[in-house]
Amino acid sequence: MLGFRGQFATKSRRYSITLGALRRARHRARAHIADHKAEGRPLDLAALEADLLADDEDETTLVIGYWSYAGTGWATEGERVLAVAAAARAREYDQWQAEQRKQKTHNSGEGTEGWKRRPNRP
């Protein structure tokens, strides 16, 4: 497709729009259309297009440059009890599945005592 492998939409960010910018434009369009519908005003497509093509430079991303230790374990005794109960149920289910597999393989071997293998033909 288009002479190279992989996802074509992510190959060149310098000469193309990014997928994130498309998502933001769709979000702005939905919000703009919903505002016009709620207010009962007609939609001005020229203004909508200008708004969607506007640069997203005013949007910023908050970057937190440090990590802090939040703790270990469960916040309450109830969370601990639920986690222990879920782990016990998971162990019981795994044991039950192992027993079922063991019985299935044991039962599938029955009744083959009188069976003889056919000799290989040249």
pLDDT single digits (tens) 11-37:
555 556 677 777 888 888 888 888 888
> Are 53 and 15 part of one and the same domain?
yes
121 domain-assigned:
no
Helix count and strand count (H, E) for the chain: 3, 0
pLDDT value for 1: 47
Q: What's the rounded Cα separation, in Å, for the pair 43 and 35?
A: 10
Whats the size of the chain, residue-wise?
122
90 domain-assigned:
yes
Percent of the chain with pLDDT over 70: 66
27 domain-assigned:
yes
What angle in degrees, to the nearest 10, is found between the helix axes of 19-39 and 45-53?
150
Q: What is the pLDDT of residues 72-116, one digit of tens each?
A: 888 899 999 999 999 999 999 999 999 999 988 877 665 555 555
How many domains would you assign to the chain? 2
67: pLDDT confidence band, cut at 50, 70 and 90?
confident
Domain containing 93 equals 76-107
114 domain-assigned:
no
Q: Which residues of 80-95 are buried (b: 16+ CB within 10 A; e: fewer)?
A: eeeeeeeeeeeeeeee
